[in-house]
Structure 1
Amino acid sequence: MLNTALNLTFRYASHIPESLLRMVFRFVATLAWLFHMGGIVQLEQNLRRVLVHRDGKTTRIAIRRLSLLAMRSYFAYFAEAMTVGARTQEQLRARIRGEGNGFESICQQCLQGSAPLAMGHQGNWDYAGFWAHDAIAPVTTVAERLSNDELLKSFVSIRESLGMSILLTDENNLTERLVAVLKQPHTIVPLLADRDLGRHGEFVHAFGSIIRVAPGPARIALERRLPLYVVNMHREMLSGARRNKAGARFGYVCQISGPIDIEPFVHMPKEQAIHDLSQRWVDIWAQGIAEHPEDWHMLQPIFLEDLDMSRLHDVPENIRSMSVKSHRIHE
């Protein structure tokens, strides 16, 4: 049902008042939260681990309040993504800005070169792609192959309309194609990488537990011997002239950290280098999640304690043993 609603929204975006659409999606988010629909239970488990690791403790009330904010942030993304074609470039530019200790660095890096970026499911990554293409360099990224072909076409169309070049997760020689893109001057490759249940995911430490992330950012950075940057996103309230230009109450901050110098990793054995560099970017990324957990749209199992090891392949024996122990503790 959600897929159908999203496709219809995308098709008739220019005919739907944005304020009305935001109100409807906010209502649906609140309804889903109220009745624990979809992935709400898993979202709250994920958020609990973040808060306990950050604060040392949390409460049921705090988790429920945070998960409501997270669901509203998540559905705001859908409302924005499905109607992005009806927004002007001036509106979009007013809705997102960049900052962080890596912002100036990546701008300089991409004047003549290229850069890979690691990012998570935060904020509005379609707006981020538009902003990066507009402010830094042309963007090539990877989208997950969805089971719903019509919805997949909608998302690919959205991103291409924003200037991004899109590859799909199941395409042949994906890593090699991304490496080839990075050989071109003046280009960036941001990759959503905070969850990977495939054969080659990297198990790394995060929030006092272990998660499995995509090896792509580390792998392509090492292949091209390029510095790796990290992106965190969160929403912010707009005001004044910027709010008038945006035509919306909320916008986004694209926080760029880095660069991570890869020289300490290039002389390691390849798989060790990929693992250690992945751990390095996750350490930085996790700090951004802890600062704005309400904008982390993770409604799927991600932490070791929640993963079904029987469905995963190529799991190191030490990780499998840790999983067995953690499940016994939680039984």
Structure 2
Amino acid sequence: MTNVMAWVANHPRVLPERVVRGAFLAAADIAWLLRVGSVRQLERNLRHVLTWSARDAAATVDGNAPAAPVGRRTLRRISRQGMRSYFTYFSEALTVGASDRERLLARIRGAGDGLDSLIAFTSPDGANSSAPIAMGHQGNWDYDGFWAQFDVAPVTTVAERLADQEMLDAFVSIRERLGMRILLTGTPHLTERLEEALGKPHVLVPLLADRDLSRHGEFVEAFGSTIRVARGPATLAYDTGLPLYVANTYRERLSGARRRAASTPYGYVCEVSGPVDIDMYRGLEREKAIHAISQAWVDVWARGIAAHPEDWHMLQPIFLEDLDLSRLRDVPESLLAKARADG
């Protein structure tokens, strides 16, 4: 399968995009119907989000009212939407070489209460500052990076070093074709290289941080449980003193001239929030400050996930209940005790 995907990515004009999209949507539906392991994990993750959202909604109406449990039909409906969103991302990534600038820009727009602030902060006509952004595996983050270079600033980011070299080369090529500078996980002195990028004017460093890929990470509260996120966004913001923004990306149905220009029924919204005020945490020692900043951005990000859970592509274990804590480092004793108590 990976060889086929790499071939499509390297020959994006051979098959029409609608054919590739249709094939991936069919594959998504088959995986969902068979309820393969990744679908079951997606549903476990979504249950946390939907239960937390229901409790929050019930508390807003009546602080004493218990939230109704998430029904299986609701969970299955949203997990199907999630699988179709996830596979759509792959079909778009693999065929991006067949689209021109105008078509891609018609598929993505910016929004959010932090967008104007981010544009002003990174403007080449202003103070010429750069900014880190915390974001998750949601929507189409490749389109985000492409859009940002035109409306905000050029992007330097990190991609996972895949074991399959052919797929790794294909995805790095896709993102470089979209105008991004790509560094790989495991690159020596990676944090220092990202700080160096942020030291230059008019640069964005967005990091997919809702899942930590190393044996290290920061445990924070989210959706009524505990998740483990990457330390990168908080570390960069604390060490550079730059404000930390948060981005959520979700799909929207297109219509009219924009739909015709995009040549697809759905586009994306990159919703920018923040910034997180790093100065609030200067009085803390560094490790405590990084934890507090991580919690702060996750609090903002979680609201965006709850608003559009169907576009959160988290098919891997992320919540404390699903993690093998014996394989992780620096696990707080309180979490180990909780895990033992829960069996």
TM-score range, shorter chain: over 0.9
The one of 60, 84, 101 equivalent to 2:72 is 60
Q: 1:178-197 alignment to 2 at 5 Å?
A: 178-197=194-213
The one of 217, 224, 241 equivalent to 1:201 is 217
Is 1:238 the counterpart of 2:250? The answer is no
SS in 2 for 1:235: strand
Q: 1:91-170 alignment to 2 at 5 Å?
A: 91-111=103-123, 112-170=128-186
The one of 234, 242, 256 equivalent to 2:272 is 256
Letter in 2 for 1:63: L
The one of 327, 330, 341 equivalent to 1:311 is 327
* Residues in 2 aligned to 1:273 and 1:81: alpha-carbon distance in whole angstroms: 36
Could you say which residue in structure 1 is the equivalent of 2:296? 280
| Cα offset, 1:38, TM superposition | 4.2
Could you say which residue in structure 1 is the equivalent of 2:235? 219
Deviations 1:129-180 (CA, angstroms, capped at 9, x unpaired): 1011121111000001101010000000000011100001100111111111
The one of 75, 79, 88 equivalent to 2:91 is 79
SS in 1 for 2:273: strand
* Residues in 2 aligned to 1:321 and 1:223: alpha-carbon distance in whole angstroms: 32
Is 1:7 the counterpart of 2:6? The answer is yes
* Residues in 1 aligned to 2:156 and 2:239: alpha-carbon distance in whole angstroms: 17
* Residues in 1 aligned to 2:5 and 2:133: alpha-carbon distance in whole angstroms: 28
TM-score, with length taken from structure 2? 0.94
Could you say which residue in structure 2 is the equivalent of 1:296? 312
* Residues in 1 aligned to 2:129 and 2:295: alpha-carbon distance in whole angstroms: 25
* Residues in 1 aligned to 2:284 and 2:195: alpha-carbon distance in whole angstroms: 20
* Residues in 2 aligned to 1:289 and 1:301: alpha-carbon distance in whole angstroms: 16
Could you say which residue in structure 2 is the equivalent of 1:19? 18
Tell whether the 8 Å contact from 1:138 to 1:164 is kept in structure 2 after alignment. Answer: yes
**RMSD value, Cα:** 0.9
* Residues in 1 aligned to 2:50 and 2:98: alpha-carbon distance in whole angstroms: 37
| Cα offset, 1:197, TM superposition | 4.8
* Residues in 1 aligned to 2:336 and 2:152: alpha-carbon distance in whole angstroms: 41
Q: How many percent identity over aligned positions?
A: 56
Letter in 1 for 2:96: V
Letter in 1 for 2:265: R
Tell whether the 8 Å contact from 2:157 to 2:181 is kept in structure 1 after alignment. Answer: yes
SS in 1 for 2:301: helix
* Residues in 2 aligned to 1:255 and 1:196: alpha-carbon distance in whole angstroms: 22
Between 6-15 and 175-184, the greater mean CA deviation after superposition: 6-15
The one of 82, 85, 100 equivalent to 1:70 is 82
Tell whether the 8 Å contact from 1:197 to 1:212 is kept in structure 2 after alignment. Answer: no
Count of residue correspondences: 326
| Cα offset, 1:301, TM superposition | 0.4
Letter in 2 for 1:269: E
| Cα offset, 1:103, TM superposition | 0.4
| Cα offset, 1:314, TM superposition | 2.1
Could you say which residue in structure 2 is the equivalent of 1:90? 102
Gaps of 5+ in 2: 55-66
* Residues in 2 aligned to 1:238 and 1:5: alpha-carbon distance in whole angstroms: 30
Gaps of 5+ in 1: none
Tell whether the 8 Å contact from 1:123 to 1:234 is kept in structure 2 after alignment. Answer: yes
SS in 2 for 1:268: coil
| Cα offset, 1:4, TM superposition | 2.0
* Residues in 2 aligned to 1:223 and 1:234: alpha-carbon distance in whole angstroms: 30
* Residues in 1 aligned to 2:161 and 2:80: alpha-carbon distance in whole angstroms: 28
Deviation beyond 6 Å, 4+ runs, structure 1: none
* Residues in 2 aligned to 1:162 and 1:17: alpha-carbon distance in whole angstroms: 19
SS in 2 for 1:85: helix
Tell whether the 8 Å contact from 1:32 to 1:38 is kept in structure 2 after alignment. Answer: no
Tell whether the 8 Å contact from 2:216 to 2:328 is kept in structure 1 after alignment. Answer: no
Deviations 1:10-63 (CA, angstroms, capped at 9, x unpaired): 122111111111111100000000001240110000001110111132111111
